Each structure stands twice: as C-alpha cells, then as structure tokens.
C-alpha cells in the first residue's frame, strides 16, 4: 500500500516546530527516526477499518464506576482492531489485562491508550483547579499535576483529560471550578505548569501521563453561563483572552487537546476547520493528538451543522479532530464517508499518524505494559509525601477576603462554635473531579479544628433542603462559645459540568442560619466552601472575617484550621472576582474603559447598575494576610528596543512572616481602540520575614503588549505599569515606552500567552 506523505506530518514537520522555539524542547512532540519508521510501516500495513479503529475511543466504564463496561463485547472490538483508546478505566492489573488483548490478540498488536479525567489528583486529592489558581503559585499546580501523574501512571493510565484551561468570566457557569479563572495571563501560567507536571520533559518516563488542554477554543464564553451554550466573540477577544492559554499550552508541548462542545460564533467547535485545522494546526504548528469531547462529533447533527452522521464525521475530520470520544460516529460512518469522498483518506492517515505518534512518544510500542505497576500502586497512592504536598497546596489556595478588627487568627484558648453542614462534609472536600479519591481519606474542618481547640459543632442547616429545624441548636452552640465559625457555600455537586445556576446566592436555608447567628452578637467568621464565586454581598454583611476555601481536597480541614488558628498566614488571591450579585455577570477586571466610565454619582449617566455598587464585592487578585506589606521605589530599570525591566521593593511591615503576591498590571493604549483598563502581565508570590524587604523585578517584552487586529501588532508609545496587591489595589505606577510600532510573525506567541520572567533581589 502506498503511503500518503501527509500521514507523516506528525513526524516530519515537528522538527520545524521545535526548531522555531529552540528554548523549548516541546517534549511531547519529539519522535525518533526509529519511531517515525515504525509509524510509517504500521500505516502501510493497516486496512481502512483498522485505521478508523485507532480513531475510536470508547468508555470502559463510567466516571463513578470505572472499568464497568469492560465486557466481552468491548474485548471483541479490541481484538478486531476497532478501538484505539479507552476512557474511564483505571488500575494496573485490569489495564494490563486489557492491553494484553490488544497486543496479543489483535492483528497488528497496536497498544491501547488509557485515559481518565485526572484533574486535581488521582487518589491523593488536591484542591480544585480554581483553588490552586488562587495560590498564584504555578509551582503548586505543577506539583499537584506531577503527583497526579505519578499516581495515575502507576495505576496504568497514559493520558489525563487535564488541564482544563478555559477562561471563565461568568460564575453562573458550573465549570469555572475546573479552570484557573478569568484572566488569560494567570490562566496561561497555570496551564503550562500543569502540563509540565503531567508530562515532564520526557513523556516516555513511566511516571508521566499525556496532558490534554481542553476545551479548545471558547467553551468558557458560553452565553449566560449555560454549559454547552454558544459563544459569540470578536476575533480580538477570542485571540487575546480565550485562546491565549491554548497557544501557551501548544507551545509548551501539550501532548493532546480536546475540542469544546459549544459553537463559536455559529460554527460548532468540533467541526470548526478554521479554528482547529487553521489556527491550532497551521498557525501554531500543533502536531499533537486532538480528541473530541464526549459524543461531540455526533452532536454536530443536533447543532444543525451536519444532516447525517457521515457528514458529521467528515466535518470533524476536516476540522482535524483525530479521535472520536464515545460517539462511534467515526466507527460507524467514517468508512462510508471516505468511500463517498476519497479526499478524506489522506486526512484519516494524518489523524492516525498523530494517534500512533502519541503512543510512540509514550514508549508503548517498546513496552506496552510499562505504565502500571500493581505492587507499587499499593505504596505510591496516598503516600505520606503526596499527602504533605496536598496539604501545602491547600494552605496556599486559601484566600482571606475580609478581616476586620483582626478577628483572625483566633486566639488560642477560645471556645469555638463551628456551624454548617459543609464543615463536616468529607465528600465535598473532594470537589468536582475526584478520580479515585476517597472521602474517608479526607480531613474535614470539624475533625481538624477539634484537634486544635474546644469546638461545639452544630450543622444548623444543610446546603440544599431549606430545612431550618437545626437552627436553634446552632444558636445554642454559638451562645456558649466565644466565637462562631460558619461554613457557608455549595456542596461539591453544585459546580462542575452541567451545573450552571441562574442564581448564585447561597442555596438552602443558609441565609436564615446566618440571620439567627448574627442575632447572638458573637463575632462570626465565615468560611466559604464552593466551586464558584458566589454572590454574597448581603449574606456577608456585618461579618467581620471571611475566608474563601473552595474545595481543598484530602487535606482540607488541616489547611483551613491552620489558617484560622494562625499557624499559616493566608496568601491566596482571587483568580475570579466575586460579584455583589448575579446580575453583574459576566464580570471581569480587564474591561475596556467605555466612553462613560462607571461613576459613583448616580446623577451622572455612566456604565454601571443603578441598584448595585460599582465593581465586584471582592476583585480579581484580592486577598489579605496576617501581615502588612509596603511597596516602594517602583522604577523602569533599563530598556532595550523590545525588552523592559520594571522593579519594585516590597517590605513586610507587619508582625509575622507571610507571603505577598506582588502583581504587575499594564495598560497599553492603541490609537483607535478601546483597550482594557488593566491587564495582568506578571506576578510573584514571595515570602518575607517581619521587617524583610525584597526587590522584585519583572522582565517584559513588548510582544506582551500586542493586540489582535487581523494579526498581532504592537503600538508605539507609553505603556503604563501598575504594581500592587490586587487589580483594585494598585500601589505604584510607572511608565515604559515602545519606541516604534511593529507586527509579529504569524503564529508567534503574544500578549497574555507569553510569560514574564521574575527576578528576586
């Protein structure tokens, strides 16, 4: 059989892609010539049905019942070469047995790829991704991904559907819990850290898994925050905001990407040739495997984009979607589509080439059983080191939103009333994607606090039912205590996929509980537990101290209790602003100024609501500390034509050692355009002892000021640099200048996708 040379794109053009960015190894994209030859030989030997088989991913189980569908019918498909990959499977022993069927009982013996959603931990559960983004510490995200990869790979997995890198500006969307929030710069940094953690420099190491950047391109922009709904965006916003983390992920060598369920300006993403083949493949040179989301190829019919399954298959293939997750549209309808239109055949070869390349990069052709070790599985999962890392991640993800009158930390010796069902809800600590997490391995706030203080616990109300019968007991507990801690929020199942809410205030009878506790006159600390920012303006009125604790994973209780009692000074920062009320959504700090900027004076007609204060309740980047930090001496310290250095001195002027997250925002005006009022372009989480100062330098490139105007362009002129403790707490401002305007090359990284180098003096 004659090979179509295009099938070798996966191997052939990779070198060009990596050579253009020599600083990056683009590790998941490297193939040796022996591997390339093996792929060529295989492709030459495969029938069309076997090729299509590689493009098929089926569910070997369900998210909550892994491996439950590995029946004889599934094994027969493997024997016939009609499956390339399984998802929702796990376990060293069962996966080795399944792999053996593929390798020993199918004609060509091509190994299978085993995939699962290992999102914030596999067995050791880390904070949900939104929480880890709140650490403003890419090392936290990196380490969590590294440990998840170690645990998942020892259980036989090759591939995780993570990180989810969708920008989210509407907290009604339940999937905000899975991403890094509203900002493309923070999102890109966290995305790259996770990818490097999952894959390391060499995905052939047996303790790695292939990462999957999802859901390419603007899933997070779903109208009204309704999951799966359309996104309607200008190309400028798409490029500058929603695609920035994907471009950074592609550049970092992410092994795979997943297309989104929704349509983008009327074109369903899974059949969007301009987006996937055009921008991702051709413009960015992305050579990794692209998988559809669950059933999404078939859903091209429901979108109205295809009339028949064969048309849906052709649309997805033309868009360059290599693998069909679960819809069987490729399995059942691609062969007839190819027969009707032979121009699809080279695209099949191309797709299969990329799938085989992913298997080759993992080393599966050399040893199909290298991932998965039943003996090590017993010692690696939930190891003490992994637990310690999960605890550190949880501590670093907590955000102190309010602390009037130094209510926190709680002085030792005080009696605490701990109220709220969430305070003892081990299941919710596991968050939205718990993989193989076990609630019995989680420490709740109730358990951890009881180890540190005298605690009277009363659930009061749960978060759902509206049943107020427990309120009197909660009030009695509060009356007998010195201080009340109330856990408020949503349980884990209120956020996540298909968990959009139109009303993001506190569910159930929690407001009634707060009212009753306020009436006791005792000081109250609110501990928020939630997977999304909630609208809490009235709920939090008069509450002097508020901690945002998200869902923090197995070590949740220890981390929260240590912050409450002062062993740990909190330093997380909000990766999404918290609205005053849901009517403000979508809400984001990096908005254009408008011709009539929001004015507190209602007599002035301006861009605001008349019935709400301006801006969020707590802005992006906000977070307090048990210490205080002063900013001084901000200077632009040297400049080349394209390179700029901005440095500031930060001093811990408070009483305790603590972390500060130093944030650099820019405003880069462009003649003729309304540019965002500020955009994050650098941050550094630093630890300072009382009285200690450090100089923090940010090395910027003018490419980071680029705007999209049918290509990336940089305008000449001054760029304002604002440094401070949040997007709304700018302490110092200086300016740098771009000497002359220029255009960037097609495909170049630009704007928020580019990282700022930080130096500490």
What residues line the site for ligand NOJ (CB under 6 A)? 87, 117, 161, 214, 293-294, 497
The minimum distance between CB 586 and ligand NOJ, in angstroms, equals: 20
The minimum distance between CB 10 and ligand NOJ, in angstroms, equals: 23
The minimum distance between CB 496 and ligand NOJ, in angstroms, equals: 10
Within a 10 A sphere around the Cβ of 305, how many other Cβ atoms?
19
Q: In 61-183, which ranges are continuous DSSP H helix?
A: 72-79, 92-105, 129-134, 138-154
Q: Output phi, psi for 670, to 5 deg.
A: -135, 125
Q: Which is nearer to ligand NOJ, 190 or 310 (CB)?
A: 190
* CB distance 557 to 127 below 8 Å: no
Q: Which is nearer to ligand NOJ, 61 or 575 (CB)?
A: 61
Question: Residue 105, preceding bond cis, omega within 30 degrees?
Answer: no
* CB distance 422 to 529 below 8 Å: yes
DSSP H/E element including 545:
strand 545-548
The minimum distance between CB 87 and ligand NOJ, in angstroms, equals: 6
Q: 3-class SS at 513?
A: helix
Q: Which is nearer to ligand NOJ, 117 or 350 (CB)?
A: 117
Q: How far apart are CA 81 and CA 75, in angstroms?
A: 10
First vs last C-alpha separation in the chain: 63
Q: How far apart are CA 170 and CA 225, in angstroms?
A: 6
Nearest to 653 by CA among 685, 624, 629: 629
Q: Which is nearer to ligand NOJ, 178 or 659 (CB)?
A: 178
Q: Which is nearer to ligand NOJ, 86 or 161 (CB)?
A: 161
The minimum distance between CB 554 and ligand NOJ, in angstroms, equals: 22
Within a 10 A sphere around the Cβ of 359, how many other Cβ atoms?
25
Q: How far apart are CA 197 and CA 389, in angstroms?
A: 13
Q: Which is nearer to ligand NOJ, 220 or 577 (CB)?
A: 220
Strands (E), 183-330: 212-216, 256-259, 263-264, 267-268, 289-291, 324-325
Question: Residue 737, preceding bond cis, omega within 30 degrees?
Answer: no
The minimum distance between CB 60 and ligand NOJ, in angstroms, equals: 12
Q: Which is nearer to ligand NOJ, 245 or 623 (CB)?
A: 245
Residue 64 CB partners (closer than 8 Å, separation 6+) = none
Q: Is 293 a catalytic residue?
A: yes
Residue 672 CB partners (closer than 8 Å, separation 6+) = none
Q: Which is nearer to ligand NOJ, 87 or 666 (CB)?
A: 87
The minimum distance between CB 164 and ligand NOJ, in angstroms, equals: 6
The minimum distance between CB 232 and ligand NOJ, in angstroms, equals: 20
Q: Which is nearer to ligand NOJ, 18 or 327 (CB)?
A: 327
**Distance set, CA 656 to CA 406, 650, 653 (Å):** 13, 15, 9
Q: How far apart are CA 499 and CA 496, in angstroms?
A: 5
- Residues β-bridged to residue 291: 258, 323
The minimum distance between CB 493 and ligand NOJ, in angstroms, equals: 16
Degrees (nearest 5) of the Cα angle 263, 307, 342? 100
**Distance set, CA 701 to CA 502, 636, 651 (Å):** 41, 13, 27
Strands (E), 396-471: 399-403, 415-419, 454-458
Residue facing ligand NOJ at closest CB distance: 161
Of 293, 324, 659, 703, the catalytic one is 293
DSSP 530: -
Q: How far apart are CA 713 and CA 709, in angstroms?
A: 7
Q: Which is nearer to ligand NOJ, 432 or 442 (CB)?
A: 432
Q: How far apart are CA 152 and CA 123, in angstroms?
A: 8
Strand-pair category, 658-667 with 717-726: antiparallel
The minimum distance between CB 90 and ligand NOJ, in angstroms, equals: 13
Catalytic site positions:
293
């Amino acid at each position: 059989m004659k090979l179509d040379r295009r099938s070798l794109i996966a191997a052939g053009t990779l070198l060009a892609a990596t050579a253009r960015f020599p600083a990056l190894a683009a590790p998941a994209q490297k193939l040796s010539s022996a591997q390339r030859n093996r792929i060529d030989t295989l492709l030459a030997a495969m029938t069309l049905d076997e090729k299509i088989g590689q493009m098929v991913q089926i569910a070997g189980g369900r998210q909550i019942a892994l491996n439950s569908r590995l029946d004889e019918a599934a094994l027969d498909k493997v024997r016939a070469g009609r499956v390339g990959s399984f998802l929702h499977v796990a376990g060293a022993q069962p996966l080795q047995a399944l792999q053996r069927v593929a390798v020993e009982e199918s004609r060509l013996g091509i190994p299978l790829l085993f995939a699962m959603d290992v999102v914030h931990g596999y067995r050791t559960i880390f904070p949900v991704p939104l929480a880890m983004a709140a650490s403003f510490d890419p090392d936290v995200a990196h380490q969590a991904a590294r440990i998840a990869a170690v645990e998942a790979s020892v259980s036989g997995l090759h591939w995780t559907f993570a990180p989810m890198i969708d920008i989210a500006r509407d907290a009604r969307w339940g999937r905000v819990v899975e991403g890094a929030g509203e900002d493309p710069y923070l999102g890109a940094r966290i995305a790259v850290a996770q990818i490097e953690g999952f894959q390391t420099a060499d995905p052939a190491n047996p303790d790695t898994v292939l990462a999957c950047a999802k859901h390419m391109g603007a899933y997070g922009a779903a109208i009204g925050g309704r999951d799966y709904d359309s996104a309607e965006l200008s190309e400028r916003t798409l490029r500058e905001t929603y695609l920035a983390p994907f471009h950074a992920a592609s550049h970092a060598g992410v092994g795979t990407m997943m297309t989104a369920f929704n349509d983008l300006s009327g074109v369903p993403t899974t059949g969007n040739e301009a987006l996937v083949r055009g921008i991702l493949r051709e413009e960015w040179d992305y050579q990794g495997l692209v998988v559809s989301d669950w059933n999404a190829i078939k859903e091209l019919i429901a979108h109205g984009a295809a009339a028949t399954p064969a048309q849906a298959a052709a649309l997805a293939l033309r868009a360059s979607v290599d693998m069909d997750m679960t819809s069987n549209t490729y399995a059942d309808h691609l062969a007839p589509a190819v027969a009707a239109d032979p121009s699809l055949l080279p695209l099949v070869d191309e797709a299969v080439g990329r799938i085989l390349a992913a298997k080759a990069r993992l080393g599966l052709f050399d040893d199909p059983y290298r991932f998965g070790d039943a003996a090590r599985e017993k010692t690696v999962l939930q190891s003490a080191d992994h637990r310690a890392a999960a605890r550190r991640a949880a501590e670093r993800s907590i955000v102190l939103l309010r602390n009037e009158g130094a209510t926190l930390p709680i002085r030792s010796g005080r009696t605490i009333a701990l109220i709220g069902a969430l305070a003892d809800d081990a299941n919710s600590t596991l968050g939205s994607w718990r993989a193989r997490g076990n609630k019995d391995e989680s420490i709740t706030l109730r358990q951890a606090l009881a180890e540190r203080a005298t605690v009277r616990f009363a659930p009061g109300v749960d978060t759902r039912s509206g049943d107020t019968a427990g309120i009197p007991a909660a009030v009695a507990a509060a009356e007998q205590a010195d201080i009340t801690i109330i856990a408020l929020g949503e349980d884990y199942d209120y956020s996540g996929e298909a968990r959009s809410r139109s009303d993001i205030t506190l569910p159930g009878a929690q407001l009634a509980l707060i009212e009753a506790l306020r009436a006791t006159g005792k000081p109250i600390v609110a501990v928020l537990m939630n997977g999304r920012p909630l609208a809490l303006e009235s709920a939090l009125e008069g509450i002097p101290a508020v901690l945002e604790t998200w869902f923090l994973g197995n070590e949740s209780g220890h981390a929260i209790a240590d912050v409450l009692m002062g062993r740990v000074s909190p330093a997380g920062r909000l990766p999404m602003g918290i609205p005053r009320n849901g009517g403000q959504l979508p809400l984001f700090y990096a908005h254009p100024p408008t011709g009539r900027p929001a004015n507190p004076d209602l007599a002035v007609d301006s861009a605001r609501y008349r019935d709400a204060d301006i801006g969020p309740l707590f802005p992006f980047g906000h977070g307090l500390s048990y210490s205080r930090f002063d900013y001084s001496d901000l200077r632009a310290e040297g400049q080349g034509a394209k390179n700029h250095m901005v440095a500031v001195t930060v001093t811990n002027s408070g009483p305790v050692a603590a972390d500060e997250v130093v944030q650099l925002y820019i405003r880069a005006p462009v003649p003729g355009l309304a540019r965002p009022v500020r955009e994050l372009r650098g941050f550094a989480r630093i630890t300072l002892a009382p009285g200690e100062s450090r100089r923090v330098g940010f090395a910027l490139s003018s490419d980071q000021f680029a705007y999209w105007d049918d290509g990336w362009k940089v305008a000449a002129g001054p760029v304002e640099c604002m440094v401070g403790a949040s997007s709304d707490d700018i302490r110092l401002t200086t300016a740098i200048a771009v000497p002359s305007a220029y255009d960037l090359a097609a495909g170049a990284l630009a704007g928020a996708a580019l990282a700022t180098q930080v130096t500490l003096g």
